[in-house]
Chain A
Amino acid sequence: MERYIHAPLDADTISSLKAGDFVYITGTIYTARDAAHKRMSETLAENGRLPIKLENNIIYYLGPSPAREGRPIGSAGPTTSGRMDKYTPALLDLGLKGMIGKGRRSREVKDAVVRNGGVYFAAIGGAGALLSKAIKKSEVIAYEDLGTEAIRRLEVEDFPVIVVMDAEGNDLYEKTAGDVVRNGSDRD
């Protein structure tokens, strides 16, 4: 099924999304990958404050290539989500609702998605040139020193993703690539 939705997300939209749906996202999303997750986790432990508001938002696991002059961003496809598994349940418990990446997630992430009514999307891995076309604006808003791993606010228009794991815990990879949680967090 094809769906056009807005970000940040709302509960009705999330509960209507089913694993396997083709979804086009328009609105505001945030990027964070390995180093930003590690730092957010450390910051949370220190003072409980994060540089972005998590409630109802989507995090895109992305480290873009540099933008040429006059363009909002360079190549911008997803990185492997499993490396963020260690940090993700805590973020979901704080209000994060959506994630965009690629690849399997851990049992703990799946439980946290179901517990909090979240959703996990996959974008097409290795299609960074194509995906960059759906990103209209990009601004570094935190952790600038991390370079490509800084946190960016993106304005996206019909950004194409596929629902891999819905709020009920159904996951698309189970049918194709074995259980989504088979080995999410330990090795990749």
Chain B
Amino acid sequence: MRTIQTAEITKQIREMCIEANYFLSPDMKQAIEKAAETESTEIGKHILGKLCENMKIAGEDMIPVCQDTGMAVVFMEIGQDVHFEGDYLEDAVNEGVRQGYRDGYLRKSVVGDPLIRENTKDNTPAVVHYQIVPGEQVKITVAPKGFGSENMSRVFMLKPADGMEGVKQAVLSAVKEAGPNACPPMVVGVGVGGTFEKCAILAKQALTRPVQEFSEIPYVKDMEQELLRKINETGIGPGGLGGETTALAVHINTYPTHIAGLPVAVNICCHVNRHVVRVL
């Protein structure tokens, strides 16, 4: 048994919110820089070049990469031999978000009630997903999510007979509909299987996988590569203004499902795909 103070969780989350919004993770940075080199259209190359410049300015001048510093999505993988001491864990997470968004000059983008819509003014609450895992470590992933792309995400309850082709069609239709609204080049997170809510969480988790890392399941990897190729053949391009770089990666996560169903969630993220991971 290991004891972790929840004050430590607050401290880590605070730092991670700030880090995520000022510095894109190395995998994302590399993918955008590589695309800027390989993109062959003039306008696409121009936009990708500006995105590289934007990342540089953000880190050097400490200005968030994007003004939509997101709703804080936090994945907590908690070892079952961990004991927390201090404030209630979720309060500690939200306190970290509160401090990070205040001290990091990040935008407060959360409304307290979805219909009354008054801003909470501190970007809380976060959306927290817990998973109990073996061991005595805590793995925290902070992934602030912008809503330009979140709004273009979709859940499809397909039929088993729709099969692999149905899944591919669902992903392509979501991407085409997202088009310029989702700030391409995008990262496409796909969840296949489980239940209505499980596939959505799988899709969100898929966005936190390092870009260009493929699924370990051979047929899923094939689908990821085929979909990436087809998405980049749509011509939507950087900023939706035309070009070959519409997506930087397609990540598919799968889970067992019911004999009657084939749930598919497509969670689209813009090129500001933020994810910071720390293990305590």
Residues of B within 8 A of A104 (CB): 179-181
Chain A 103-118 against B: per-residue CB contact (8 Å), 1 yes, 0 no?
1100000000000000
Contact check, B179 vs A80: say whether CB atoms are below 8 A apart. no
Q: Is residue A173 contacting chain B, with contact meaning CB distance below 8 A?
A: yes
Stretch of B54-62, B92-100, B212-220 that contacts chain A: B54-62
Contact check, A102 vs B180: say whether CB atoms are below 8 A apart. yes
Which residues in chain A, 104-152, are within 8 Å of chain B measured between CB atoms? 104, 122, 124-130, 132-133, 146-149
Indicate whether A129 sits within 8 Å of B69 (C-beta atoms), given known contacts A67-B105, A173-B179. no
Contact check, A77 vs B66: say whether CB atoms are below 8 A apart. yes
Contact check, A147 vs B239: say whether CB atoms are below 8 A apart. no
Bound Cα distance A149, B118 (Å): 11
Contact check, A62 vs B67: say whether CB atoms are below 8 A apart. yes
Residues of A within 8 A of B64 (CB): 65, 74-75, 128-129
Contact check, B107 vs A102: say whether CB atoms are below 8 A apart. no
Contact check, A188 vs B54: say whether CB atoms are below 8 A apart. no
Contact check, A80 vs B148: say whether CB atoms are below 8 A apart. yes
- Interface residue tally on A, bucketed by range: 35 or more
Residue in contact with A126 in the complex, picked from B51, B109, B152, CB distance below 8 Å: B51
Most chain A CB atoms below 10 A, which of B58, B121, B239: B239
How far is the CB of B165 from the nearest CB of chain A, in Å? 22
Indicate whether A147 sits within 8 Å of B108 (C-beta atoms), given known contacts A74-B67, A125-B183. yes
Residues of A within 8 A of B181 (CB): 80, 82, 102-104, 188
Which residues in chain B, 229-275, are within 8 Å of chain A measured between CB atoms? 235-237, 239-243, 270-272
Contact check, B179 vs A103: say whether CB atoms are below 8 A apart. yes
Indicate whether A65 sits within 8 Å of B53 (C-beta atoms), given known contacts A75-B64, A126-B183. no
Residue in contact with B180 in the complex, picked from A75, A103, A147, CB distance below 8 Å: A103
How far is the CB of A75 from the nearest CB of chain B, in Å? 4
Q: Is residue B131 contacting chain A, with contact meaning CB distance below 8 A?
A: no
Chain A 156-188 against B: per-residue CB contact (8 Å), 1 yes, 0 no?
000010100000000011011110000100011
Residue of B nearest to A65 (CB): B107
How far is the CB of B31 from the nearest CB of chain A, in Å? 14
Residue in contact with B239 in the complex, picked from A75, A76, A125, A183, CB distance below 8 Å: A125
Q: Is residue B65 contacting chain A, with contact meaning CB distance below 8 A?
A: yes
Q: Is residue B142 contacting chain A, with contact meaning CB distance below 8 A?
A: no
Q: Is residue B167 contacting chain A, with contact meaning CB distance below 8 A?
A: no
Chain B 61-99 against A: per-residue CB contact (8 Å), 1 yes, 0 no?
111111111000000000000000000000000000000
Residue of A nearest to B60 (CB): A129
Contact check, B51 vs A127: say whether CB atoms are below 8 A apart. yes
Residues of B within 8 A of A62 (CB): 67
Chain B 170-211 against A: per-residue CB contact (8 Å), 1 yes, 0 no?
000000110111010000000000000000000000000000
How far is the CB of A57 from the nearest CB of chain B, in Å? 21
Residue of B nearest to A77 (CB): B67
Bound Cα distance A177, B65 (Å): 25
Q: Is residue B151 contacting chain A, with contact meaning CB distance below 8 A?
A: yes
Residues of B within 8 A of A183 (CB): 177
Q: Is residue A5 contacting chain B, with contact meaning CB distance below 8 A?
A: no
Bound Cα distance A66, B64 (Å): 10
Residues of B within 8 A of A160 (CB): 50
Q: Is residue B20 contacting chain A, with contact meaning CB distance below 8 A?
A: no
How far is the CB of B207 from the nearest CB of chain A, in Å? 15
Q: Which residues of B does A touch, CB under 8 Å?
A: 47, 50-51, 53-55, 57-58, 61-69, 105-109, 117, 119, 121, 146, 148, 151-152, 176-177, 179-181, 183, 235-237, 239-243, 270-272
* 8 closest cross-chain pairs (CB), A and B: A177-B179, A125-B183, A103-B181, A75-B67, A129-B58, A176-B242, A128-B67, A130-B54
- What are 18 pairs between A and B in contact, CB < 8 Å? A62-B67, A64-B67, A65-B63, A76-B67, A79-B68, A82-B181, A103-B180, A125-B148, A129-B63, A130-B53, A146-B119, A147-B108, A173-B241, A175-B242, A176-B179, A176-B180, A187-B151, A188-B151
Q: Which residues of A does B touch, CB under 8 Å?
A: 35, 62-68, 74-77, 79-80, 82, 102-104, 122, 124-130, 132-133, 146-149, 160, 162, 172-173, 175-178, 183, 187-188
